[in-house]
Amino acid sequence: MNIQVLPEHKLSSVAPLKQCNVEKKEVELILVKDQNGVQYTSSTIIPTAARCAGPHGTSTDIDRETWGKKIDFLLSVIGFAVDLANVWRFPYLCYKNGGGAFLIPYILFLVIAGMPLFYMELALGQYNREGAATVWKICPVFKGVGYAVIVIALYVGFYYNVIIAWSLYYLYSSMTAELPWLKCGNSWNSINCTDPQHINASFFDKNISYANNKFTPASEYYERGVLHLHESKGIEDLGLPRLELTLCLVVVVFILYFSLWKGVKSSGKVWIDAATQIFYSLGAGFGVLIAFSSYNKFDNNCYRDAILTSAVNCITSFVSGFAIFSVLGYMAQKYNMDIKAVATDGAGLVFIIYPEAISTLPGSTFWAIVFFIMLLTLGIDSSMGGMEAVITGLSDDFKFLKRNRKLFTFATAFGTFLMALICVTNGGIYVLTLLDKYAAGTSILFAVLIEAIGVSWFYGVDRFSEDIEQMMGFKPGLYWRLCWKFVSPVFLLFVVLASTVTSSGLKYNDYVFPPWANLLGWGVAMSSMLFVPFYAIYKFLSVRGTFTERIAYCITPEHEHHKVAEGNVRQFKLKHWLAI
């Protein structure tokens, strides 16, 4: 048993005791037990004179699992942040936007927005020890933001698991003496398939690059052998789920379930591209960082964690850039063409260009297996993070889900599997493309903008800094506080507006989506964003009192609601809004 005597100012403001006439002899008893490798922490604050209940009758007892080792947390956060985007998006964006010139806005946005938001989410989750929804007890009117990011994480799981299933299918297909995408003449090849030895720069029309050529063995294997895209006329003609991909998807979902069921232990355009890449790469806003950090010990140094993990993530992007462009350079030299003819991003890079390059190397089977194992580990780590955000966020809000975590985890995994079946049909790539653009595009940017405003302005950046001081013994520097209150919200507002204004109609190669598909995509995006205003309206109507009192209850932390009746509302004072 570890006994700590905490002074009054060190008590968590998440659920402090009401003011009582007691001596300052509060004692926190921390009972740590180890069960199946998971550490559980139970603590109770006991005044000497009388026991006072928390706000609204809640208890100050805490029973929440924590990471057994610090390295478990760090690897989980790094595993979530370092994902497929580091491999297939960053190198291409860097090339498309001028190479080294792209690094200037990239590093700038990393410093002024990416890292501050990363730090903010880690501290927010660790201090409050809650998931993405219930963490908003600090400012109840913003709880809709939590639901929004949970829905977004769920949407991403619908299609992200399919990409992992593709990787698993490729891994299985690689276990042959000769890789199946090396030559034409297979059952899936068309009569237009052209063997690579017959390909050179003169083979292509000047308006068609090698990356867009659909008649290479690697390209036909991906689109005809794996996706069966030739059997679909468009998004309105999906067909039935492919058996092979469905089985791969089942394996992926089972891996996720058994990993999670026990808990955590187990031009202007250049600037827009740089801003969105650093944001998506770090992974802020999906509720994952809040969920993971909520299982940290209270005094964990999340500041150091934020610096370390964001640095590792960006360094990984740089390293992957060297690896990717060494392969693209090899392909360009092999076919005697400019590198811009083979440069591409997304699935075309990792499932067409890279596999084709691997197939020409000595020991190609071995290298293909290693490559697709890498894709699997990158994808599964990130998918686990997204699913954990959903599970933690909802189980913290609805306690019966926490009591039945195994069943709830299974239901979540099975639900994502059922929705993902749409993406493994003949035309599933069209659905995946739609979800990839709209499910976590403008909507996630909007959610984090509101999150930054809620924490820095309504809860108060000064109070948030005091929370961090309680955990780590020091306040964040002026730089961080300025970024949280001014720079990051302005940055996010800029990116939200830019992503909306520059949004164009959906396309997949030469296929142009019908107008109704774009409307459906915006409907998907709005379905998560609308949680923010709808919950705010619900919260306002559900509390009692005058108009002013309702506003006060909505923007005052739950443990300070008694101050509303006293007329002592911090947010109604100018000092609150001017504080830094």
Residue 23 backbone dihedrals phi, psi, to 5 degrees = -75, 155
pLDDT for the residue 47 = 39
Residues 6+ apart with CB under 8 A from 285: 117, 121, 149, 152, 279, 444, 445, 447, 448, 451
Contact 174, 368 (CB under 8 A): yes
pLDDT for the residue 41 = 42
C-alpha 44/C-alpha 331 separation (Å) is: 64
Cα–Cα distances in Å, from 443 out to 285, 507, 574?
10, 20, 32
Identify the segments of the chain with pLDDT beneath 70.
1-62, 199-211, 263-269, 271-276, 279-280
C-alpha 155/C-alpha 577 separation (Å) is: 36
pLDDT for the residue 1 = 38
The verdict on whether residue 273 carries a ligand-binding annotation is no
Place of tokens 């509303």: 564
Amino acid, res. 401: L
Contact 211, 345 (CB under 8 A): no
The verdict on whether residue 79 carries a ligand-binding annotation is yes
The verdict on whether residue 313 carries a ligand-binding annotation is yes
Place of tokens 């990787």: 167
Task: Identify how many contiguous H helices and E strands the chain contains and give both numbers.
Answer: 26, 6
Kindly report the number of other CB atoms within 10 A of residue 356's CB atom: 24
User: What proportion of the chain, given as a percentage, has pLDDT over 90?
Assistant: 58
The verdict on whether residue 281 carries a ligand-binding annotation is yes
pLDDT for the residue 202 = 57
3-state SS string for 230-255: HHCCECCECCCECHHHHHHHHHHHHH
Place of tokens 């809620």: 454
Gyration radius (Cα) of the chain, Å = 26
Q: Which two tokens stand for residue 38?
A: 């998971």
**Residue (of 2, 21, 17) closest to 60 by Cα position:** 17
3-state SS string for 405-441: HHHHHHHHHHHHHHHHHHHHECCHHHHHHHHHHHCCC
C-alpha 353/C-alpha 362 separation (Å) is: 17
The verdict on whether residue 382 carries a ligand-binding annotation is yes
Cα–Cα distances in Å, from 124 out to 83, 154, 316, 424?
23, 21, 26, 37
Q: Which two tokens stand for residue 512?
A: 């142009």
C-alpha 90/C-alpha 321 separation (Å) is: 7
The verdict on whether residue 436 carries a ligand-binding annotation is no
**Residue (of 163, 223, 226) closest to 372 by Cα position:** 163
C-alpha 76/C-alpha 52 separation (Å) is: 38
Contact 449, 496 (CB under 8 A): yes
pLDDT for the residue 135 = 97
